[in-house]
Amino acid sequence: MAMAAAGAAVVAKRCMNPACGAPATAGGGDWRKGWPLRSGGFALLCDKCGLAYEQFVFCDIFHQKESGWRDCSFCGKRLHCGCVASKNSYDLLDSGGVQCVICMRNLAAQSASGQVVPKLFPCQNNQRIFGKSDELLLGRKFEQSPSLMLDSRNDEIAVVNKSNHPFMVKGIEAGQSSSILRQKEMENGSRQIKWEQPTLSIGDMGRPFLTRSQSALESPQYTRRDDNKDPTTDSTTSESISEACLSMSLGIANNGNKMEATSTVERPILSPTTSIAEGREITTTLSPFQHAQRARHFLTRPPRVGEGAVFDPTKDIFPHLRVARPPAEGRGRNQLLPRYWPRITDQELQQISGDSNSTIVPLFEKVLSASDAGRIGRLVLPKACAEAYFPPISQPEGRPLTIQDARGKEWHFQFRFWPNNNSRMYVLEGVTPCIQSLQLQAGDTVTFSRIEPGGKLVMGFRKATNTVSLPDSQISAIANGSLLSETLFSTANENLGVVSGYPGFLQTIKGAADLHPSSLYDHHMNSADGDVSWLKADKFGSRPDEGSLQFLQKRSRNIGSKSRRFLMDAEDAMELKLTWEEAQEWLRPAPSAKPTIVMIEDYEFEEYDEPPVFAKRSIFTIRATGEQDQWIQCDDCSKWRRLPLTVIVASKWTCTDNSWDPKSCSCSAPEELTPKELQSVLQQYEEMRRRKGSYGLKLNVAEMDASSLDALATAAVFGDVGNQGTASVATTTKHPRHRPGCTCIVCIQPPSGKGPKHNPACTCNVCMTVRRRFKTLMMRKKQRQSEREEAEASKKITWANRDEPEGSNLSRSPQTLDTTRDSSDVTMFDKVADPNKGHIDLNFHPAVRDDHQGQHGAQQPRPVSMMGLLEVATRPLDNYMKQNGLTSLAGEQAGGSSSTATVLPAPVESEERTSNEGRVASVERKREPDAMAVDEAGDNQQDKAADDAPLPPPAAT
DNA sequence: TAATTGCATGGTTGC
DNA sequence: CAACCATGCAATTAA
């Protein structure tokens, strides 16, 4: 790359080879970047004579090859180039050598008089050539800036106008400089520093970057602050600090040639570069490292717990585990979204670090979109990432950016931006060769890291090997819009193991795993060796990662945007080989859950902040006396033991855990149920399961409906599954159906902070559906009012049957149930709560109701998905009216009563219902006032209507 | 005519 | 609701 391309404002520079003298100016550019240097810079070659120079990213000055390194004459530590920009990292000695700041300080400490006079100038590198074009100056012409120096003897700050000095200088934002300078001061220990700006702790910073070897392993800039170690004892630290200081400057007022710090806090030690910066746009060249430093300055908000930002002790235990780490630096004013957090395992870091002493700082990663991986050759960069980690650019043209891949090959991109909605859209242009070389495609993940020291950008990649490859026919069908989203996802699910689920599911499952070593181990072990293809992409097995997931989500965007949230990791799916109904048996309200009563259109709903929990399956029975029991089977002896109704037990339970019944706390104790009773109960139970399974078992994981997985998700995220022990829950008094396994919005809502809360203003699908149902309800009520008179005659009939669709649980009293079973005095029932209050049931199953509406339960219900629900919700009102007979509501009420028999969550009940309608109705009538009965009848009707169809347009509601 | 470039649009998502 | 960002598309340039 010719330097001329860097910009037109390159000042006259000539090759230092007297026989050459090739200019590096625009138009004459015979300069090109060469090989990467371990320093983090790159070689600069004179195309004409081949003389090589090197550039250091910290000072942005080209140095004649190998001429810039300076080794401390005392400790031998490799110092930086020796240019003015790095001048503060060492001191020139009269003897001709250099002295690093550490040695210099030590010497000063040893000297009572402290007469250590840094020899700031002249700099030795008089053969240096200028480097850096205006692209590095962000469009500004090169300008000489006064260099700031500090006489350490008296701590005065002296500004020396180095207008005659041939080195480009630069500045950074005041905030950054002050922050860094404070670091520097701490480093030197020469002053008492008051930290004005927010101090970042480990917790604030998240997990700092890792290095090849340990302790490595924390960013010196941070660890030093955190543990207050004496930096002099840590060469790594000091070196890093020194390097960091290379890039700092002071953001103080320029008083001509003399600058004075007006604040004691802001007094710098050394800042060799000071172009006065007032903001980004006038900020001069910053290396990525500098940039990160600056960005770090804005880090004031601690990461949220739960986003993975907290210190994760498991990382030390499982360094190979892929856990998204919030970048330690440079997240900018706004925190980086977790989706961009690098998910690089320590092993991968080690790989990329190789045998060098370099430190890898994971910055961010991005899943390649179709656009990114397409032929257009543009990789859209997340704005926050670009601004935090890449060099600042002020012009849309941007600047060239060289990024090295894990194989050591350098790729030259154009880092630029487009103005977009008063904002910027950052892109890397020219990525096609890289993409093709690495054989990346949409869904793969590109990871950006930085090598320290040097600040060199490195990119890795992670293949999404399980990327869905749909048959062409399906792809074309998708393109034509003829393939329903469900089909796509079904296909995707089959191929990838993607299933529907709550969006927080994946995150929370992983999050939970992160917090629990055992689960994490199980969950991640298979992929422990990583799916990041840093150096040996093909060597490692891979698992579908979030990249492929996101890719799928993106691909599905145009055909079912609502469904993009119903995706999950294939590996997670593998662990969820159970049907929804099976899962239901394990779900219980959280023991500690306290419901919040929410009024929705005059109806009370209970909302729980806590998700349901896993619990061991149990069977509820009711005796002839009306007494209810809960039975649970011992995992050891398989005997059934009676438990209090409200008890929730862990997934494993044995007789010895039976603290409620001393007589049955041992496996040797006889079973309380007689064989006949037991057989009856189990038969009923199996019957119920069969019927549930009749549709549930048909569902593979991928076909679970959304609500099912929502519940699964919320259950899965509950970390203390099985540890609830006993608690008084299980039933509620407000929501008649709020029982173990309930799938209403109360139960399926995700834990706080993990998703939309179902407050009255919630607009999630579930809530919206509920609201629509209520709107439908209200609409129908209005219509009914006008028809009520003529419907009066059939009203009683309606009442007699009105509870069938939804209210069988409500209407079924223990006594009623009991009379239906004559084989035993113990009858199984679906655990219900207080049936005293009329509530609209949220546990509707439209498909179930649909099927049974016309066939009285003879037909097995179909699974229903959220997409299907949404689909029917969009049907025109007239269809809705026709389908639901709203034109003749009275007739519906009268004639529809017989068709309202339905299968309910507890099939046993529905079966009874058909034979006991009259009794059920009478019981129902007894317990509720007529007014409520009317409403509830309407509710049920409307629920049904709203469930299986069609929601009226807003005007109709 | 194809490829590239620059911008606009609109879906998605976080606040 | 606003910001972000994936992508479409018109304008421009190159072949």
Residues 539-598 of A with CB under 7 A from strand B: 553, 557, 561-562, 564-565
pLDDT of residue A438: 82
pLDDT of residue A47: 60
DSSP β-bridge partners for residue A457: A450
Q: Which nucleotides of C are covered by protein (CB under 7 A)?
A: 3-9
Name the nearest CA neighbour of A950 among A804, A781, A779, A773.
Answer: A773
Amino acid identity, position A525: M
pLDDT of residue A777: 59
DSSP β-bridge partners for residue A31: A46
Residue pair A657/A849 in contact (Cβ under 8 Å)? The answer is no
**pTM for this prediction:** 0.31
Helix (H) or strand (E) holding A808: helix A808-811
Residue pair A130/A166 in contact (Cβ under 8 Å)? The answer is yes
Q: Which nucleotides of B are covered by protein (CB under 7 A)?
A: 4-15
SS3 label, residue A896: helix
Phi then psi for residue A179, to 5 deg, are -65, -45
Q: How far is the CA of A711 from the CAs of A707, A742, A826, A870, in angstroms?
A: 6, 9, 30, 19
- Nucleotide closest in space to A554 (CA vs C1'): C6
Protein CA at A528 to nucleotide C1' at C8, angstroms: 40
Asked whether residue A870, judged by its CB, lies under 7 Å from any atom of the DNA or RNA strand B, the reply is no
SS3 label, residue A628: strand
* Architecture (CATH level 2) of domain A615-693: 2-Layer Sandwich (3.30)
- And the tokens for A664? 């049955």
Alpha helices in A619-743 (DSSP H): 675-696, 706-716
* CA dist., res. A249 & res. A149, Å (int): 10
Residue pair A861/A918 in contact (Cβ under 8 Å)? The answer is no
β-strand pairing of A147-151 with A410-420: unpaired
Q: How far is CA A309 from the centre of its chain?
A: 11
Mutual angle of helices A235-246 and A101-110, in 10-degree steps? 110
Amino acid identity, position A671: E
What string of DSSP letters covers A350-372? HHHHTTSS-EEEEEEEEE--HHH
Name the nearest CA neighbour of A405 among A328, A483, A460.
Answer: A460
Centre a 10 Å sphere on the Cβ of residue A919 and count the other Cβ atoms it contains. 18
CATH assignment of A346-462?
2.40.330.10
**pLDDT averages per 10-residue partition of chain A, 957 residues:** 30 47 46 50 55 41 41 56 42 56 61 35 28 27 27 29 28 32 34 28 32 31 31 32 27 31 27 29 33 32 32 39 52 56 67 66 84 87 86 85 83 86 86 84 84 81 56 35 30 30 28 29 31 34 37 36 34 39 54 61 55 66 74 82 76 79 84 78 68 39 36 33 28 29 38 36 50 60 62 51 36 34 43 35 36 36 40 43 38 33 31 33 33 34 35 32
Name the nearest CA neighbour of A378 among A370, A386, A387.
Answer: A370
Nearest residue to B10, CA vs C1'?
A: A558
Name the nearest CA neighbour of A31 among A20, A17, A44, A43.
Answer: A44
Protein CA at A878 to nucleotide C1' at B15, angstroms: 39
Alpha helices in A654-813 (DSSP H): 675-696, 706-716, 745-748, 765-801, 808-811
SS3 label, residue A43: strand
Tell me the longest C-alpha to C-alpha distance in chain A.
115
β-strand pairing of A456-462 with A399-405: parallel
Nearest residue to B14, CA vs C1'?
A: A337
Judge if A346-462 and A615-693 fold alike in CATH terms.
Answer: no
pLDDT of residue A779: 65
pLDDT of residue A443: 83
pLDDT of residue A740: 37
* CA dist., res. A361 & res. A83, Å (int): 26
Protein CA at A23 to nucleotide C1' at C12, angstroms: 33
Asked whether residue A678, judged by its CB, lies under 7 Å from any atom of the DNA or RNA strand B, the reply is no
Amino acid identity, position A481: G
Please, which residues have CB within 8 angstroms of residue A109's CB and are 6 or more apart in sequence?
A: none
Residues with CB under 7 A from strand C: A 334, 337, 340, 366, 369-372, 376, 378, 380, 382-384, 420-423, 425, 442, 554-555, 557
A118 upstream amide cis, omega within 30 of 0: no
Residue whose token pair is 């106008």: A161
Domain map of chain A by residue range?
Answer: 32-110, 346-462, 615-693
pLDDT of residue A132: 29
Please, which residues have CB within 8 angstroms of residue A232's CB and are 6 or more apart in sequence?
A: A102, A105, A106, A238
pLDDT of residue A440: 84
Asked whether residue A761, judged by its CB, lies under 7 Å from any atom of the DNA or RNA strand B, the reply is no
- Nucleotide closest in space to A556 (CA vs C1'): B11
pLDDT of residue A480: 35
- The 10 Å CB-count burial string (b at 16+, else e) for A928-957 is beeeebbbbbbbbbbbbbbbbbbbbeeeeb
Residues 821-860 of A with CB under 7 A from strand B: none
Protein CA at A560 to nucleotide C1' at C4, angstroms: 20
- And the tokens for A13? 């520079």
